[in-house]
Amino acid sequence: MKLVVMIPAFNEEESIRKVIRAIPRKIEGIDKVEILVIDDGSADDTAKAAKKAGASRIAVHRKNRGVGSAFNTGLENALEMGADIIINTDADGQFSAKDIPRLIEPILKEKTDVVIGSRFLGKNPEMPFMKKAGNLLFSWLTRKISGADLTDTQCGFRAFTREVALRTVLFGKFTYTQEFIIRAANGCFRITEIPIVAEKRKTGKSKVVKTWYLYGLKAISIVLRKYTDTHPILIFGALSLAVFIVALFPFAWAMFYYLQTGHFTGVLGSAMLAGFLFLTSLITLTFGILADMFVRQRILQEDILYRQKLERYGKR
């Protein structure tokens, strides 16, 4: 049983050494532990520091592509390394390596497929108000969309099986946290949480969150886009129904006027508006039906991709 700990990093030369050296090399139930660092276009010597600290493999992006892209690169490399279980952790040292055995324990016991570290289980974490509010909001939104009963969907400290990695296809370059959970839930994988304590960042500043409002907008767009990808008929159907209901008002007024006067001369604008809205409603519904057909096509394509990955990385 091989465990690969992957660490996406961007300009983390100061902290990456300590993070790597803290990772336990001997864990009950695990035969081999390897460390994978994804250097996402760092301007400093993150890659060199990781190599000196004992990283098993270092994947380097020539330019910064975002933590979502770094996560995808990590998945590909971890599968190439023959990982049976994969852990993702941050390079800033906020998550304790001592929690790694607890994080993978439910997977080793075959009780779950994905384990998320939660900063909100049983304890009120110390974090700025805006950060805490944002975490709770996104956790609620992801919980509603995915159906997974989770308290901390933003936490990057997570473990998952090789099968989950093989089935995962992510498109978000900016972040991966919510999309990964939605994808796993849609794939009928079991997801659970364990309580963890995150320490305050000791060096530098967050490379992911430069401004909270920008992070929020991008994260929401990723979540909503993912929901649209999986439930297009609901999204477009709801929009179509809303436009149809709005169209009823000018239509009712135009018909009432016609029944009273016998012509549309005085309400021609309302009649044209109603016709335009009815047509828009029909077109929107048509888009939803077409998108739903594309979803089925995407599922078939993802199954083909899964089989290709099995051939490429080998069955375990």
User: Residue 202's pLDDT is what?
Assistant: 62
Q: Residue 315: what pLDDT?
A: 67
CATH number for the region 2-228 comes to 3.90.550.10
Burial of 306 per CB tally in 10 Å (0-12, 13-18, 19+)? middle
Position 131 confidence tier, pLDDT thresholds 50, 70, 90: confident
Mean pLDDT of 84-108: 95
Are residues 206 and 97 in contact, defined by beta-carbon separation less than 8 angstroms? no
Tell whether the model's pLDDT for residue 208 goes beyond 60: no
β-sheet with 158-161: strand ranges across: 57-61, 32-40, 2-9, 85-88, 158-161, 114-118, 191-195
- Residues 6 or more apart in contact with residue 3 via CB below 8 angstroms: 27, 30, 32, 33, 34, 83, 84, 85, 86, 87, 104
Average of pLDDT values for 118-129? 75
**Mean pLDDT over the full length of the chain:** 88
User: Does residue 71 carry a pLDDT above 80?
Assistant: yes
Looking at residue 199, its pLDDT comes to 81
Query: Residue 121 — very low, low, confident or very high, per pLDDT cuts 50/70/90?
Result: confident
pLDDT band at residue 215 under the 50/70/90 scheme:
low
Q: Extract the tokens encoding 222.
A: 């990723």
Paired tokens of 274 = 């109603």
First to last CA, the chain: 10
H-helix or E-strand containing 87?
Answer: strand 85-88
Helix (H) or strand (E) holding 35: strand 32-40
Report how far Cα 171 is from the mean position of its chain's Cα atoms.
9
Instruction: Check whether 211 has a pLDDT greater than 70.
Output: no
pLDDT tens sequence across 229-269: 778 888 899 999 999 999 999 999 999 998 988 887 888 89
pTM for the model: 0.80
Inform me whether the pLDDT recorded for 10 exceeds 80: yes
Q: Where are the domains of the chain?
A: 2-228, 232-309
Q: Please name the residue ranges forming H helices in the chain.
A: 13-22, 46-53, 67-80, 100-108, 129-146, 162-167, 177-186, 212-230, 232-261, 268-313
Residue 225: which pLDDT band, with cuts at 50, 70 and 90?
confident
DSSP state of 159: E
**Range name among 37-41, 130-134, 214-218, 249-253 with the lowest pLDDT average:** 214-218
**What pLDDT sits at residue 154?**
87
Q: Tokens standing for 119? A: 């900063």
